[in-house]
A and B are shown apart, each in its own frame.
Chain A
Amino acid sequence: MEILFVLIGISISMAIVFLALFIWSVKSGQYEDDYTPSVRMLFEDKKPKEIKK
């Protein structure tokens, strides 16, 4: 049964990693705009040089 000490430790620390990721994603503003990225990825890439004569 002593293995539980280790298992609980592992599970909590893994959960903490995900919590940290969540906090990071909130702080970096990923939840602020849920529309633009979804259309941005569909645009063709263009380089200014190609068009300018």
Chain B
Amino acid sequence: MKKLKPCYHCGDDCHVEIQHDEKVFCCNGCKMVFEILSENGLNEYYSIEQKPGTKPTEAGNKYQFLENEEIAEEFYDFKSETQCHVTLFLPQIHCSSCVWLLENLNLLNEGILKSEVHFTKKEAFISFDPNKISLLGLTHLLDKIGYAPTFEKKEKRSKKKLNNSFFVKLGVTGFCFGNIMLLSFPEYLGISKDVSENISFFMQLIIVALSLPILFLPAWDYIKSGYKSIKTGHINIDVPVSIGIITLYCKSLYDILVEGNASYMDSFAAFIFFLLIGKWFQNKTYNALSFERDYTSYFPIAVSRLKDEKEEVIKINNIEKGDILIIRNGDIIPVDCNLLKGNANIDYSFVTGESMAQPIKKGEKLYAGGKQLGTNLKVLVLEKVNQSYLTHLWNQSAFEQEESGYSKLNTRLSKYFTWAVIAISIIAAIIWINIDISKTVNVVVSILIVACPCALALAVPFTFGSALRYFGKTGFYLRNIFTIEDMSQLTDVVFDKTGTITYANSSDIEFIGEELSETEKKEIAELTNNSTHILSRSIRDYLSVLISEKTISDFEELVGKGIIGNFENGKSYKLGSANFVNEKKDTHGETRVYIQLNEEILGYFLFKNLYRNGVPEMMNSLKENYRLHILSGDNELERENLKKMLPEGSSILFNQKPIDKLNYIQNLQNDNKKVLMMGDGLNDAGALKQSNVGVVLSENIYNFSPASDGILTAENLTLLPNFLKFSTKTIIVLKWCFAFSILYNTIGLGFAITGNLTPLIAAILMPISSISVVALSVFLIQFHYYRMVINKKL
């Protein structure tokens, strides 16, 4: 293969070399961005980072909905006569050049007053003058320079704010904890009796004052959650924690205010502080990734409706039964409807996973979620948005499962733990009543204090949290830490075929027929370069020749059929399906693109489904521990190929609709199986949600992907067996940490039962146990990770 020059703007290979200003561009779009920027003196864009640009897309009518003021209104943060503020999500932001360009937007258009980029969130805050540029104009401008904004409903974006109040809590707790420890120093050194009584009491009072914010801010959350869990009968880790906190606090208050003694306040503060740190670790997620997208993120926000012969833009929720809509090329059909006019060629890959577009006849039904390729359509709405076939699927119960936010292993342990602590306290109380009644209360309180499972509560977030980080390093992003626990218990692995174990866009191509000459190759490449169809693009990439430009005299693309092109030298090409070139031979159901030159068929390009590299090996190593299943929305053509790849006893099912996939997984679960679902598209969304662990495979992790438990980058698919192995190891580490923390509790109980627990011992034991358990978990996870790296497994 020849080496093609990289584009000056975007860095992609140039199949066509467009020369401009001594630079090479791959397409007119890239050249145009360069022109816009250099005209406005923004050439510096290219000097901050090499080839920073992104290809501009064909905007077309995509943003038409912004014309409707009512819809545009939803996106403004602030609006007045002279100034509007918007926060736009620009998924293309990826380097410092992007930041530079976007913050200098005011050089491109006077109407823009200020723009500020938030890199990690990939957002730009822009204020502009609505008299000089509209939101639509601004959007088009951004689109033109390669940063097409994505519009999402507002309520979805505002979730992030909660984080701030957590950090305030953490800060306040840290502050109080530090100061309480400082004021407890005389206690630690044993000199508190040497300073005067007054000062000692004064210091204790300040300690009480400092403990109040901790009690009312973070500690209250634990107590509330513990109370709730007792009420519902599901005892979780918060119950023993709350019991510990409450006794600790009451005992300390009593000691200070009534007895005037040293207290356990420092342990109390340390305890809450460590718990918060654990929570922080637990909630660390991947900001830029979204795991929560549902079908509404895929649907257009607005559509064009035909009313009284006039076209108007309306919100999708306002669509009524009986409306007539206009669907343009590339639009997604928002509701189930009937085709009235136009040549429909619908790509249902969103819904079914079937990769070929289907032609639909007039009067037939179109289902929501299909994408029109070709000319404009007029359609009659049959149902409201929320009643259509697709939304029915999403209203399935699978989407209403709530998550507990607790580790199952931990919850089980907490139950035993709580009862054990209560039992021990009762036994100790009975024994002490017989020995020395005056000390009984003291002993019981000490037991409750020392049994507080701080280290236990920390083991989960730190073990899973650090495992999560290492997964992230290898391109596997999980939504939360508890997914790891589910991953270690799997029995079955279900794969979607199209897009998951096969490539979505690239197919294995072979040319069948007489070999093409260099000129013919060039001409075919030039023709296909003019078309945006997936098959055309694949042929162009397959040919990989440098395209000389502008020798085509006549070009026409017939949607769903093929392309016709005439060259200046009199050659006339037809590329397309067998029907299109009047080939009578049977195609055996294969995907073929025929080449016809001046009425003579040269041959055809055969597209075979291509499996990702290493898939058979992956299947092989998975079969030891898991049963494998493959569900496909496509037809049975590939059965033989798949069979060869899979071990005996695996199931392969074809023609699976989304609801079939969901039911299949449900049936497996009814047989007490734990299922991992690997999918890629919206058509798997139900199954992903229903499965115990649903992982989305994604070529570009920042793209839209359906709601899931994890996102795996496509090139790392074959590491899946190792990811599963690593999660099993993680559980073993966690069990070690549990054993360790219970050991510490037993030592503490030894002191408590014998009546020897003092604030000083508590103050030493508590941090040592917490820190050593955290260190142990982090170290062991790291050890396992690097061992796998050294063995070339991750």
Chain A positions within 8 Å of B, measured between CB atoms, are: 1-2, 4-5, 8, 11-12, 15-16, 18-19, 22-23, 26-27, 29, 31-36, 39-40, 43-44, 46, 48, 50-51
CB pair A8–B196 under 8 Å, yes or no, is: no
Q: Which of B106, B116, B206 has a CB less than 8 Å from the CB of A8?
A: B206
For chain B, the bracket of interface size reads 20 to 34
Given known contacts A4-B195, A39-B99, A43-B103, A26 and B167 CB-to-CB distance under 8 angstroms: yes
The one of B117, B118, B183, B202 in contact with A5, judged by C-beta atoms closer than 8 angstroms, is B202
Q: Within the complex, which residue of B40, B96, B120, B171 is in contact with A34, where a contact is CB–CB below 8 Å?
A: B120
B323-362 with Cβ < 8 A to chain A: none
Assess whether A51 is in contact with B107, with CB atoms less than 8 Å apart.
Answer: yes
**Chain A CB within 8 A of B398 CB:** no
Q: A4-B195, A5-B202, A39-B96 given as contacts; is B107 within 8 A of A32 (CB)? A: no
Cβ of A23 to closest chain B Cβ, rounded Å: 5
Task: Decide if the interface of chain A is mainly helix, strand, loop or mixed.
Answer: helix
With A and B bound together, what is the CA distance between A39 and B116 in angstroms?
Answer: 12
Closest residue of chain A to B123, judged by CB? A33
12 CB < 8 A contacts A-B: A2-B199, A11-B182, A15-B175, A26-B164, A27-B168, A29-B164, A36-B99, A36-B120, A39-B99, A46-B104, A48-B107, A51-B107
Residues of A within 8 A of B117 (CB): 36
User: Taking A5-B199, A12-B179, A33-B121 as contacts, is the C-beta distance between A43 and B100 under 8 angstroms?
Assistant: yes
Known: A1-B199, A8-B202. A15 touches B167 (CB 8 A): no
Q: How far is the CA of A29 from the CA of B106 in the complex (A)?
A: 24
Instruction: Select which of B44, B106, B120, B196 is within 8 A of A1 by beta carbon.
Output: B196
B103 pairs with A19, CB closer than 8 A: no
A51 to chain B, nearest CB (A): 4
> What is B's interface to A at a CB cutoff of 8 Å?
40-41, 44, 96, 99-100, 103-104, 106-107, 110, 116-121, 164, 167-168, 171-172, 175, 178-179, 182-183, 195-196, 199, 202-203, 206
Nearest CB of chain A from residue B96's CB, rounded to whole Å: 4
Q: A2-B199, A51-B41 are in contact. List 11 more A-B contacts (CB 8 A).
A: A8-B203, A18-B175, A22-B171, A23-B171, A26-B164, A33-B118, A39-B99, A40-B103, A43-B103, A46-B104, A48-B110
**Chain A residues with CB under 8 A of B203:** 8
Instruction: Name the one of A27, A33, A39, A51 contacting B164, with C-beta atoms under 8 angstroms.
Output: A27
Q: Which 9 A-B pairs have the closest CB atoms?
A: A51-B41, A39-B96, A35-B119, A36-B119, A19-B175, A26-B167, A22-B171, A33-B118, A4-B199
Complex contacts, A40 vs chain B, CB 8 Å: 99, 103
Give the docked Cα–Cα distance between A32 and B167 (Å).
Answer: 11
Residues on A with beta carbons closer than 8 Å to the beta carbon of B172: 19, 23
> Smallest Cβ distance from B437 to chain A, in angstroms?
40
Tell me which residues across on chain A come within 8 A of B171, comparing CB atoms: 19, 22-23, 26
Interface SS of B by simple majority = helix
Instruction: Please give, as numbers and ranges, the residues of chain A lying within 8 Å of B195 by CB-CB distance.
Output: 1, 4
- A36: chain B residues at CB < 8 Å are 99, 116-120
CB contacts between A and B, total, < 8 Å:
71
Q: How distant is the Cα of A15 from the Cα of B213 in the complex, in angstroms?
A: 15
Contact A33 B96 (CB under 8 A): no
When C-beta atoms are compared, the residue in chain B nearest to A26 turns out to be B167
Please determine whether A26 and B168 come into contact, CB atoms closer than 8 angstroms.
Answer: yes
The answer to whether B168 and A23 touch across the interface, beta carbons within 8 angstroms, is yes
Contacts of A51 in B (CB 8 A): 40-41, 107
- B106 cross-chain contacts in A, Cβ below 8 A: 48
Q: In the bound complex, how far is the Cα of B172 from the Cα of A19, in angstroms? A: 7
* Bound Cα distance from A12 to B119, whole angstroms: 38
A31 to chain B: closest residue by CB: B167
Q: Do the beta carbons of A33 and B168 come within 8 Å of each other?
A: no
The answer to whether A12 touches B206, judged by C-beta atoms less than 8 angstroms apart, is yes
Closest chain B CB from A8 CB (angstroms): 7
Contacting residues, chain B, for A8 (C-beta < 8 A): 183, 202-203, 206
Interface centre among A11, A16, A29, A43 (most CB of B within 10 A): A43
Contacts of A48 in B (CB 8 A): 106-107, 110
Measured between beta carbons, the chain A residues less than 8 angstroms from B103 are 40, 43
Distance (Å) between the CB of B735 and the closest chain A CB?
35
List chain B residues, Cβ under 8 A from A23. Answer: 168, 171-172
Closest chain B CB from A37 CB (angstroms): 9
Set of chain B residues within 8 Å of A2, measured between Cβ atoms: 199
How far does the Cβ of A25 sit from chain B's closest Cβ, in whole Å? Answer: 9
Residues of A near B168 (CB, < 8 A) are: 23, 26-27
**Bound Cα distance A8, B183 (Å):** 9
Q: Which residues of A contact B120 (CB under 8 A)?
A: 32-36
Chain B residues in 8 Å Cβ range of A26: 164, 167-168, 171
State the Cβ distance, A19 to closest chain B Cβ, in Å. Answer: 5
What is the chain B residue whose CB lies nearest that of A23? B168
Q: Report the Cα distance A5→B292, complex, angstroms.
A: 54
Which residues from A are CB-within-8-Å of B40? 51
Question: Measured between alpha carbons, how far is A48 from B116 in the docked complex, in Å?
Answer: 17
Q: How far is the CA of A18 from the CA of B104 in the complex (A)?
A: 35
Q: Once bound together, how far apart are the Cα atoms of A43 and B168, in whole Å?
A: 32
Give the distance to chain A from B218, nearest Cβ to Cβ, in Å: 14
CB distance from A48 to the nearest CB of B (A): 5
Q: Report the minimum CB–CB distance from A33 to chain B (whole Å).
A: 5
Contacts of A16 in B (CB 8 A): 175
Whole-angstrom distance between the alpha carbons of A39 and B40 in the complex? 22
B119 x A33 contact (CB < 8 A): yes
Task: Give the chain A neighbours of B96 by CB distance below 8 A.
Answer: 39
Q: Is A32's CB under 8 angstroms from B199's CB?
A: no
List chain B residues, Cβ under 8 A from A4. Answer: 195, 199
Task: For A29, list chain B residues within 8 Å (CB).
Answer: 164
Which of chain B's residues have a CB closer than 8 A to the CB of A32? 118, 120-121
- CA A14 – CA B178 in complex, angstroms? 13
Inter-chain contacts of B175 with A (CB < 8 A) = 15-16, 18-19, 22
| Alpha-carbon distance A46/B108, docked complex (angstroms) | 12
Min CB–CB distance A2 → chain B (angstroms): 8
What separation, in Å, do the CA atoms of A34 and B195 have in the docked complex? 47
Chain A residue nearest to B44 (CB atoms) is A44
The answer for the CA separation of A39 and B171 in the assembled complex, in Å, is: 28
- Residue numbers in B under 8 Å from A22 (CB-CB): 171, 175
* A51 to B339 alpha-carbon distance, docked (Å): 53
State how many angstroms separate the Cβ of A6 from the closest Cβ of chain B. Answer: 11
